[in-house]
Structure 1
Amino acid sequence: MNDLFFYGTLRHLPLLQLVLGRPLSRLTLSEAKLKDHAVYSVRGEAFPMIQPERGGVADGLLVQGLEPEDFRRLIFYEGGFDYDLQLQPVELPDGSVVEVCVFFPEPDLWSPGELWSLQDWADAWADLTLTAAQEVMGYYGKADAVKIARSFPSIRTRAWAKLGARKRGTGDARDPKKDVIVHEHTHAYIDYFGMQEVQLQHRRNDGTMGSVLNRNGLMQGSAVVVLPYDPGRDAVLLVEQFRTPVFLIEDPEPWMWEPVAGMIDPGETPQQAARREAMEEAQISLKSLEFAGEAYSSSGSSTEYVYLYVGLADLEKTIDDGGLASEGEDIRTKIIPYAQFMDQVDGHGFKDLPLLSLAHWLARNRDRLRGA
């Protein structure tokens, strides 16, 4: 059996070609229908599910002429989403029926939403899905589908950040397509973070191409950092949590006092993420957000891009049960009068760089915020 019926996102031909890793010209593609089934969106997700439904019809794409390597790549990609292959009869436009393989999710794995539309999905999510699939397939042959499934939320977060990065420019006339030569690009490691290695040359200031450099980057999504400030009480709120990298470097104080912070989820704006994280970590509702800048947090080692805010709020209480249990967070908060806060900043009492950046921004803008 070398034929497959696709009812979901793999009907989008650019995605199918990316997953297969080869042009589609040697395959036979036909519209087809799987009767007594229907395709629904998955609640809270950007992909669909199929389920039996008497009288329903699932529109799809029949792909014929697949090779064993195509199946291995498809099973790797779909296996990360907990799908299994099943034989089903599908009907072609001429009325003939053929038995082909179909990817089905595990029973009761997801909850169905509304009937799914390929066009609506493509308008909203195709670019993100293609970008995420590039990373997923970069680990083909290097990681198993179980690890990809565990890492997929982070992969999508990084994909959302990459879409934002492509629009980020300040007017530099140099063109990476002409002024950077990539000799080898490797997806080296995948888990919550990813690690990519590259051998490249870039054009030097004198106009010549430099020597081949071996470099790597910690692949992360974009993040928001927000310092809650109460102008009436003239006080800030900080959160404390255990930070594993600080522990791994053998710092004796891996519990860090920081602003509220978190990754920007796919489909979110930085402002939406800031408000969500303030509620999740500190259980506070922000009245308004003051933009305090945006930048790469450590451009020599990481892709993380950070959006900085001061969030105006009524700071009335502290908590010791903040964060999401599903993410292993154990967060407490404290409220500090502004003068005491700045004394600690000046006395080098904090070790979080975004916190120091926001403290200095607040010092320059405090009178305006209090006047407002």
Structure 2
Amino acid sequence: MTNLFFYGTLCHLPLLECVLGRPRANLHIADARLVGHAVCSVAGETFPAITARPGAIAWGIVVRDLSDEDVARLRYYEGGFDYGQTPLQVETAEGMVTAQVFFPEPGRWALTGAWHLADWQRAHAPMVMAAAEEIMAWYGRKLAEDIAARYTPINIRAHARVLAGQRTPDPDRDLTRDVVVQARRHAYMNFFSLREVDLQFRQHDGSLGPVLNRGALFVGEAVVVLPYDPVRDCVLLVEQFRAPVFMAGDPAPWVWEPVAGLIDPGETPEQAARREAQEEAGLTLDRLLPAGRMYSSTGSSSEFLNLFIGLADLGGHHPQDGGLAEEGEDIRSRLVSFDKLIEGVDNDRWRDMPLVTTALWLARHRDRLRQA
């Protein structure tokens, strides 16, 4: 059995419960402190690191009598950080306890000021909890290094889940009684993830329906921005290869679209739209106009879109290659007159739903934008 001292995010007991897979009532937890050490923020990150520092005190918790399985689950969750364990004496109200402390590799991160659990809980705990749920769902099925390689998309999906939970509830329904979940499964995880659920939902006659098995593709929350020059009355489109279109058997998998991309954790939709315009088209936007917020395909995907029209001076823009090589993007851009844009909508030339949606929004507001 092992005693462990926690000084960072795992002092958040719901996260510890998620990682260990059992409730806190089954754990022997006590407040503790480690003298001669400090818990510091890591530059550019939300988690802390511990370092030896004479005269300082690292506050945390000690959890006693953890099993080999508990330690294995903790190492799996922290698998991307390669922490080493050191036994040290920590103080508790019950006296001194020898506990293992996870230390990062010396010099791995730049340490800044003091890290405070309460600040982290307010700002980051919900997203970290959502990410931990996905990570631990793969315990025993995927290697820790495979999970570590996918931290970025995992966090993007977790961020999107937090944002989804902040949307306006349905005033006519109570999810605690109108949806009954029998089982949840994580079926696939890579850049995207696929999850399954067995559930019942309240039907319109008031009864609970039969148990149904349903799946959903988890992508994240995204932005779509159609750059428009109201002086020259033209838009900018980008073309790129789309593997799902190819996989569907479509003989034309290169698709013309607006600029688009996933929102990174900590980004606003507006910040993501401006970043994607730079990355995909080398374009600086003057102004962003909201053009709708919606799910892209409610029957199969959790993806939520923030649509924008991006006002810009396109006079000096020339067709160019864009995209991030590290993300496998190979993108070219093109200017299209407004008349050709709408002609393409009417003739079914455009096959990207966000392009058609933003084009129709632009058609409705174009005169106002040109007069302004």
What TM-score, normalized by structure 1, do the two folds share? Answer: 0.92
**Residue type of the alignment partner of 1:46:** T
Alignment of 1:293-332 (within 5 A): 293-315=292-314, 316-332=316-332
Quickly say closer, same or farther: Cα 1:85–1:177, change in 2 above 3 A: same
Percent identical pairs in the alignment equals 51
> Per-residue deviation at 1:25?
2.8
1:255-334 alignment runs, 5 A limit: 255-315=254-314, 316-334=316-334
Q: How does 1:150-299 map to 2 (within 5 A)?
A: 150-169=149-168, 171-299=170-298
Could you tell me whether the CA contact under 8 Å between 2:86 and 2:103 is conserved in 1? no
* 8 Å Cα contact 2:237-2:335 kept in structure 1: yes
Question: Which one-letter code corresponds to 2:357 in the other structure?
Answer: S
Further displaced range: 331-340 or 302-311: 331-340
Instruction: Name 1:5's counterpart in structure 2.
Output: 5
Give the superposition deviation at 1:253.
2.1
Q: Provide the rounded CA distance (Å) in 1 between the counterparts of 2:133 and 2:159.
A: 13
Larger deviation, residues 164-173 vs 58-67: 164-173
**Displacement of 1:318 after TM fit?**
3.0
How far does residue 95 in structure 1 lie from its aligned partner after superposition?
A: 11
Q: Compared with structure 1, are the counterparts of its residues 107 and 329 closer, same or farther at alpha carbon in structure 2 (3 Å cutoff)?
A: farther
Provide the C-alpha distance between the structure 1 equivalents of 2:107 and 2:341, rounded to a whole number of angstroms. Answer: 51
Question: Judging changes above 3 Å, is the alpha-carbon distance between structure 1 residues 52 and 256 closer, same or farther for their aligned structure 2 residues?
Answer: farther
Question: So what's the TM-score if we normalise by structure 2?
Answer: 0.92
Counterpart residue identity of residue 204, structure 2: N
Cα distance, 1:303 vs. partner?
A: 0.5
- Give a deviation string over 1:193-226, Cα, whole Å, max 9, x none: 1111111111221122212111111112111101
Cα RMSD of the aligned pairs, angstroms, is 2.1
Query: How far apart are the structure 2 equivalents of 1:13 and 1:62?
Result: 12
Range that drifts further, 66-75 or 93-102 = 93-102
Q: Distance in 2 between matches of 1:26 and 1:360?
A: 57
Distance 1:252 1:109 in 2: 48
Counterpart Cα distance in 2 of 1:276 and 1:14: 34
The SS at the match of 2:362 is helix
Q: Deviations over 1:49-76 (max 9, x none)?
A: 2345566543332211212222122111
- Pair 253,109 (structure 1): closer, same or farther in 2 beyond 3 Å: farther
1:168 deviation in Å? 2.1
Partner of 1:78: 78
Secondary structure of the structure 2 residue equivalent to 1:92: strand
- Partner residue, 1:25: 25
Please identify, of 39-48 and 28-37, the stretch whose mean Cα deviation from structure 2 is larger: 28-37
Alpha-carbon separation, structure 2, partners of 1:337 and 1:241: 20
CA separation in 2, counterparts of 1:137 and 1:318?
47
DSSP 3-state at the match of 2:124: helix
How far did 1:364 drift?
Answer: 0.6
Is the alpha carbon distance of 1:171 and 1:96 closer, same or farther for their aligned partners in structure 2, counting shifts above 3 Å?
closer
Any gaps of 5 or more consecutive residues in structure 2?
none
CA distance in 1, matches of 2:146, 2:217: 18
Query: What's the secondary structure of 1:197's corresponding residue?
Result: strand
Structure 1 residues 111-126: aligned runs within 5 Å: 111-126=110-125
Which residues of structure 1 form unaligned runs of 5+?
none
Q: Contact 2:86/2:102 (CA < 8 Å) preserved in 1?
A: no
User: What is the alpha-carbon distance in structure 2 between the residues aligned to residue 290 and residue 330 of structure 1?
Assistant: 27
Contact in 2 for aligned 1:83/1:104 (Cα 8 Å): no
Cα 1:94–1:209 shift into 2, 3 Å: closer
Do 1:193 and 1:218's aligned partners in 2 also have CA atoms closer than 8 Å? Answer: yes
Structure 1: distance between partners of 2:274 and 2:237: 15
In the alignment, which residue of structure 1 is the partner of 2:338? 338
Aligned to 1:357: 357
Give distance in 1, aligned partners of 2:52 and 2:230: 57
Q: Alignment partner of 1:267: what SS?
A: coil
